[in-house]
Structure 1
Amino acid sequence: MPLPLIRDAHLNYPRVGHAFFMRHGGVSEGIYASLNGGVGSKDSRDAVMENRRRMAEAIGVAPDRFLVPFQVHSNLAIAVDRPWAEDERPQVDGIVTRTPGLAIGVTGADCGMVLFADPQGGVVGACHAGWKGALNDVAGATISTMLGLGARRDRIVAVLGPTIAQKSYEVGPEFVARFTDIDPKFSRFFKPSVNEGHSLFDLPGFIGMRCRAAGVGLFENTDRDTYSDEESFYSYRRATHRGEADYGRLVGVIVLR
């Protein structure tokens, strides 16, 4: 049975394959049920690797050519042209390639997973943008790395996968200050919450701003809220609110044919 996944029409090119995988179709159990792609979770490693194998098959590559970095909430991005061993995963949050048949991806569970493609230039990329990565412009770093491989800004299409929505992302005043201390104009990404002194943060909107500021030709948001749609997605914040010990990870991946 095909894995449940999301594909965006704006990335439908003959040379490009992509997927934002949902949480069903795997072998993990309990709070990880069922397509947990996070090797950093406390889930059974065998289960996660089987889930990754199924994702690789769905995107049309061998498991050893399905690459997801060790994410550290940074603004670091690298270009890759060959597979790496699982214990050699680079500690970055952006990954770019022009090598056909090399599927590159990132994980998320509320954080933004952004897939990039310049189909004419033959360059694709992916980045993991939580609030720290977004604030420090991991999207811009990933786009700059794509330019180094021959991409052109105005040809790049960027698509944001399932991400926590503003209505679900309440933050305190100290969080808002992290942004407005850097640029007071960032206040537009916050609106008052029903809880006094708190705000709702528009992470998808902020990521979109970063992509547009970097000059991409098109930015699209799949507009799926990981927090409120438990049937389809994992959510770090939902798990935290419930006092659960851990949470599963979604995967977004892109490949050149």
Structure 2
Amino acid sequence: MPGDAVEFLTVPALAGTRHGFVTRRGGVSAGLFASLNVGLGSSDDRAAVLENRRRAMDAVAPGGRLVTLHQVHSATVVPVTAAFPDDARPPADAMVTATPGLALGILTADCAPILLADVAAGVIGAAHSGWKGALADIGPATVAAMEALGACRGRIVAAIGPTIARASYEVDLAFVERFCAAAPENEAFFAAGKPGHAQFDLEGFIAARLAAAGVKTVVAMGVDTYADEDRWFSFRRTTHRAEPDYGRQLSVIAL
């Protein structure tokens, strides 16, 4: 993978923004982190991570100022008007901005990145949604924060990027019960698995919560991070292999 071009996926519905769901290809990291690992919290060489982040930005939003968070699986959203240092990233899981030149970046390795835009209002958002954030409604919270900056939720477009798919996401019955206790209809996002387990549709759950929040255009890309090792890092794949660490990929949006 080292030496490949930086590769990223885009969504036509987000036209009018500079955005991309960046794969793991085209970076300088080696070993478990090969090759475009952008995770400052990983044990990868920091110089390599910074070079990977630079390459990703040059590919998706050249000239933009990358802003990332200290992601903590919360429903906390922060408005951003200026870039902050990498070592002063606030603990949060989503950002919104109306400031041109800022590139909102989300790091994932099975959790879902969500990129959002109301192009007419000049407001964008980006969220990190694992199951905890999804259950706490990080998506709708991001929509509300965009609305506070002048967006109209009926115009907001949301794209759910590469994430672990239901076929790869086995959970126990206590997990299912947690979701069903929040709302009985959440049972629809679980399929039967092996005895004592179920398969969870994280992407479908997030899409449904965004739609319920009034987002009329929700794009679910249907890309499984666990199943495609050549293109995506995966925390669960690493866990199943008892590997000591894992890389993170970047999803970014800028005006």
TM-score, with normalisation over the residues of structure 2? 0.97
CA distances 1:47-85 after superposition (whole Å, capped 9, x unpaired): 10110011121123447x101111000000011010101
Q: Deviations over 1:124-159 (max 9, x none)?
A: 000000000000000011111000000001000000
- CA RMSD after TM alignment: 1.0
**Does residue 60 of structure 2 align to residue 59 of structure 1?**
yes
2:19/2:61 contact within 8 Å kept: no
DSSP-derived class of the 1:116 partner: strand
Q: Name the counterpart of 1:69.
A: 69
2:6 matched to 1:3? Answer: yes
SS in 1 for 2:154: helix
- Contact 1:116/1:157 (8 A) holds in 2: yes
Distance, in Å, in 2 between the alignment partners of 1:68 and 1:55 is 13
1:244 equivalent in structure 2: 243
Query: Residues 210-237 of structure 1, C-alpha deviation per residue, up to 9 Å, x if partnerless?
Result: 1101111200011110000111100000
Amino acid at match of 1:248: G
Contact conserved, 1:18 with 1:255, CA < 8 A, in 2? yes
CA deviations on 1:84-119 (whole Å, 9 max, x unpaired) are 011111110010100001000111111000000000
* Aligned residue number for residue 186 of structure 1: 186
Which residue is equivalent to 1:229? Answer: 228
Mapped partners of 2:154, 2:216: distance in 1: 4
Q: Report what 2:99 is aligned to.
A: 99
Structure 1, unaligned runs of 5 or more? none
Aligned residue pairs: how many?
A: 252
Contact 1:2/1:58 (<8 A) preserved:
no
Distance 2:38 2:87 in 1: 16
- Shift, 1:178, TM fit: 1.1
Q: C-alpha distance in 2, partners of 1:86/1:105?
A: 12
* Superposed counterparts of 1:137-148, under 5 Å: 137-148=137-148
Length-normalised TM-score, structure 1: 0.96
Distance 1:189 1:99 in 2: 36
